[in-house]
Structure 1
């Protein structure tokens, strides 16, 4: 039986653990035990922090794993590449790991390679930054976090210092990136790569809370962008993936489209999109099992994706701002389009990050499920 290591044990990694078991792999999961829902599903569980790369490497060498992956964690990507590169397993090059997990280094890469993105600078641990040529509003975010943690729109210089401190507090490296705010429509592009060849699977439309925190409230596939803009988006994303040296596995590219049709790449993760985008929505809208594809990339068993369906899929998240969707979750059996629904917290909060959401429902239908 082939052995796969999955880095991370929270609910985000549970779909990968379950799918790996379904595929007949022996699953070895690494994570702190606190919140590790994967512990009871994996064949073997190791209570080791995902940032302890050397300890995880030693265990993986002892086990003799055949592949290693993660599906929704930028921090875990660093460990996956570190272990794989030292064991001769398939992964993205370890020397480029930080470029795909640090927003400032990513922007530097985009600039060198002509990938269109917003103007930016960094506020480091010494609070030194230069925005003399920038126009407000600005977006401030941690350089190395996901899930909208620490992200804030800044309308004038008076707010900037507090926003930077908030972002740095959320940052592992105590640094924040400052960007000019790009207005427009938000989308993401879901892709899988093998031996440097990229396959775009789907484009996702997004709905967020808007300013100041821009936490995502809805995702819908496929995008309703025009065919012309979608073609331009795909060309830019393919170029950006190559520039970032993303050669194996999933990627999740976030972009904005202005009213004038200008396209800007905001960031790209060398992993699946969270919020069920990669683990569920792609499969529902295309028929392609993205999760299985990612696992098979790691195990060297990848075959070219085939799109077998053309449906609409999406997810709505519950919060104080979206209290009106609670009735759909509670009465999901009355809506044949709803394939999964859950209230995760009876307390509804105003959202400042994705962790403040209190539930969701996922749908699949012939047209966009509008409420």
Structure 2
């Protein structure tokens, strides 16, 4: 448990901005950051602004933790996003001009919680109800579904300058929940697409005023090569992307870089492109991977079976294990 090694531990909700600020002021902290959770971002910016520490603004925190606010900002700045609407209840007349299929998401959750793909109007009301139920503020967004491959861009920023560290290819369960089953770095996309992704990411980070620290930007790319922004977080990617894969594929200590920015000790990232790295997640959908979990493989970095009873996954919390690899080529177990 982290509390056993921390110098200070307080059982306070990360949403309790004022109480956390008071404890940080009392201790006299040197920096504050989040590694891979969106929920902590508003609190971090709240505390940092009051203690004159390095962070993004509270406005930026709102725009990167609320999907509707994020869509509004990106749309106003002419970034390519799916057509969307924010709702707090079902009203069929709101969707007259939308083209099915649609994706429904709580405005303020992650890990695929409350995410549904709906192919027609008959299933929309129930999906909206379930998504709103998952939301802290009881709202969701409904947006047109973009068919295509999924990738993410891992970045770190300092004083508004953005450094692209890696692009991650993704494998998901597909409809209706799109829970991620595997991640691979570096991306095998063609160079023109990679270059476009880098430029779009930098422009989107500018629009959202992500000037400091890590960011994790998710995209869909259609068969025609059109790139749509799906979501951007002002933190490292979860699923071991930020904590391990970037380091394994580039040699850059992403976690150390994030901590140094919080401490006002930024150093320009040095990337060595030393190999391929990835993670596979174990579930009922990926039961065929079980033999790789039960034997030693030359590409193993770390692996663990968390639950012997495999189940179909509705969110990332349902996954039953993980296998992190590192190799001189992509390890394709499918």
TM-score bucket (shorter structure): over 0.9
RMSD: 0.9
The 2-side partners of 1:323 and 1:248 are apart by 40
Question: Compared with structure 1, are the counterparts of its residues 60 and 358 closer, same or farther at alpha carbon in structure 2 (3 Å cutoff)?
Answer: same
Deviations 1:92-122 (A, max 9, x none): 0112211010000000001110110100001
In the other structure, the counterpart of 2:20 is: 56
What are the within-5 Å matches in structure 2 for residues 160-239 of structure 1? 160-239=124-203
| Aligned-residue offset at 1:131 | 1.5
In the other structure, the counterpart of 1:21 is: none
What are the within-5 Å matches in structure 2 for residues 258-337 of structure 1? 258-331=222-295, 334-337=296-299
| Aligned-residue offset at 1:127 | 3.9
What are the within-5 Å matches in structure 2 for residues 62-211 of structure 1? 62-124=26-88, 126-128=89-91, 130-211=94-175
Q: Give the gaps of 5 or more residues in structure 1.
A: 1-36
| Aligned-residue offset at 1:330 | 2.0
In the other structure, the counterpart of 1:357 is: 319
What number of residue pairs does the alignment pair up? Answer: 332
Report the TM-score, using the length of structure 2 for normalisation. 0.98
| Aligned-residue offset at 1:149 | 0.4
The 2-side partners of 1:152 and 1:177 are apart by 11
The 2-side partners of 1:319 and 1:195 are apart by 41
Q: Give the gaps of 5 or more residues in structure 2.
A: none
Question: Compared with structure 1, are the counterparts of its residues 309 and 234 closer, same or farther at alpha carbon in structure 2 (3 Å cutoff)?
Answer: closer
1:107 match: secondary structure: helix
In the other structure, the counterpart of 2:221 is: 257
The 2-side partners of 1:100 and 1:196 are apart by 16
The 1-side partners of 2:167 and 2:161 are apart by 18
What are the within-5 Å matches in structure 2 for residues 5-44 of structure 1? 37-44=1-8
| Aligned-residue offset at 1:195 | 0.8
The 1-side partners of 2:94 and 2:26 are apart by 49
Matched, 1:344 2:306: yes
The 1-side partners of 2:307 and 2:44 are apart by 32
2:298 match: secondary structure: coil
1:146 match: secondary structure: coil
2:3 match: secondary structure: helix
Deviations 1:171-216 (A, max 9, x none): 1110010000000010000000011110000000000000011000
| Aligned-residue offset at 1:221 | 0.3
1:46 match: secondary structure: coil
The 2-side partners of 1:167 and 1:99 are apart by 19
| Aligned-residue offset at 1:347 | 1.5
Report the TM-score, using the length of structure 1 for normalisation. 0.88
